[in-house]
Every structure is written in C-alpha cells, then in structure tokens.
Copies of this chain bind each other. A is one copy, B any other.
Amino acid sequence: MRELTVAAIQMKMADDVSVNVATAERLVRDAAKRGARLILIPELFEGLYFCTDQLAEHMNRARPLEGHPTIAHFATVARELGVVLPVSFFERANNAAFNSVAVIDADGSVLGIYRKSHIPDGPGYSEKYYFNPGDTGFRVWDTAVGRVGIGICWDQWFPECTRVLALRGAEIILYPTAIGSEPHDSTWDSSRHWQRVMQGHAGANLVPVVAANRFGVEKGQQHELTFYGTSFIAGPTGEIVTEAGRDDETVLTATFDLDAVAELRHGWGVFRDRRPELYRPLWSLDGQDD
C-alpha cells in the first residue's frame, strides 16, 4: 500500500505577481497541512491570463528557468514542506518562448521542465501569438511521491498526451489549467466537456487525473473572460472524486493507494492488448498511414 494525497489549488489571479505568489503559497501550505505531498497550482498563476490580447509588451513577462524568482521561491517552500510542486511559468529561451512547467521535487530540487506541446488559438485564447509549440515531448518525473506525468491546459484535450504519459509509467497525471468562457458566445460553457474529456483519459489509462483551474473575471483590451473554476480530481475509472465550485478559492485533496491503482490498471488489461502496429495513422494529421 502506497498512499498519496494530492491537492489541486483553485485561485483567482490579481494583476500583481507578488500577490499571486503569496496566495498560491498560502494555499500550498494549507494543502500540505491537510496531508498533500503533491500539489498542483493553476497554469500561469503569476498573473492575469495575458493571452486574452495579442500585445508584444506581454512578451516581457517571459523569464528564463535559470534564476527564475518564483521557481526559486517555491523550491524553498517545497523543501520546507516536503512536497512535490510543479510550477507553471512563461519561459524565455533565447528567441523562443514557451508555456512551461518546472517540476520541483520534495527536496527543493528542480527536476526539469516540460513545455506545453499543444497550443490553442481562438477568441480570448491567443496562445499561438505568445508560445512556441513545446519541444520537450511528454515527460514523466520520478519524484519523492511516485512517477508523475504533467500536461498543460490545452494538452488535456489530446488523448495522445495522456497515453504517452501513461505508457511511460505515470502513476498520476496533472493538468495546470486556465480555461473559462468563450467571449464570442456567452451561452457556451465548456466546463462539463472539459471534465468529461479528462475523466475519459483517467478511465482509459486507469490513472488518477488532477486539473487545477483559475476562477474569476479577467478583462483584457479585446475580451473579457470568466474563468470557470470547477477544478477536480478524477480517480482511475474516470470518476470525479472531488470537484470545486465555479467561483471559490479552494484546495481540493484526494488520497489514492498507488499500488492498488497499479493493480487495477494491470488487471484490466488494456496495456496488454494495445496494437501499436495499427496506430500508424496517429502520426498523420489527416488519418493517412504512410
């Protein structure tokens, strides 16, 4: 029996890095107090979701991993609390820029980074303007609490991402997120669609999935977005174990026996019965197999 308590933090962002870092730290400490040893903060929590607009000045928000003050700060927090803490950040890498996550282990060491592979684009979500498509591939992290897989927001819509992480032995998969309303259609609410797709990933791969979203209204120059919260933790059959409201600061926690999950996963047989030789069309954009 190998029990892990995981936490998802749901928070509202201010237009001030130090305020957001302080809020995240307070909630991380709260999660640790409740026994969480793996804690997920939402995507790009250092500030407002600047991708609402396409403004060159926002490029100045990008910082290299080396000497990144927020990552250095949370490395200290992680070491003090003995928790694994993935930290989402806007990464400058020479002339490239990425939507990245730095993975901080429970001893405060930075294990490395993952760069978001799938970059969305649409009214209010102009990420293709800011971010290069990530070049790291899908990575798993051998942390103090187990092997952790991490995708970032839009990655969560792609079964290929979750599957690769699961094939590589991820015991739990995390998605820091920033998602809300569609400014061109005020009746559109993707929150259940968003949850169901990740519940499907959890169920298909028999691995718990954690999504941490922001909440609150954020006003850009072009669009106003209402981030819808509804952060959740799903168990290995895709069941929702715990879920936040749409408009609440929340620390969700759930406890899994990773050995029992592995037994369920291996007993169910899907990883025994895959047919890679038939999956060649996945390598194409239009379903061709050559």
Contacts and interface: CB of A to CB of B under 8 A. Distances in A.
A133 B274 CA distance: 10
A121 interface: yes
Contact of A281 (B120, B133, B164): B164
A66 interface: no
Contacts of A94: none
A282 B281 contact: no
A197 B236 CA distance: 11
Interface in A170-208: 190, 192-193, 196-201, 203-204
Given A196-B237, A201-B200, A270-B157, A168 B287 contact: yes
A279 B167 CA distance: 11
Interface in A147-179: 154, 157-160, 162-164, 166-169
Given A279-B282, A281-B167, A282-B167, A193 B287 contact: no
Nearest to A281: B164
Interface residues of A, number: 56
Interface string A90-127: 00000000000000000000000000011111100000
Across chains A and B, which 9 residue pairs bring their CB atoms closest together, nearest first?
A200-B200, A167-B287, A196-B238, A168-B287, A159-B159, A193-B237, A197-B203, A196-B203, A276-B283
9 contacts: A118-B273, A119-B273, A121-B272, A158-B274, A160-B163, A193-B238, A193-B239, A196-B203, A279-B283
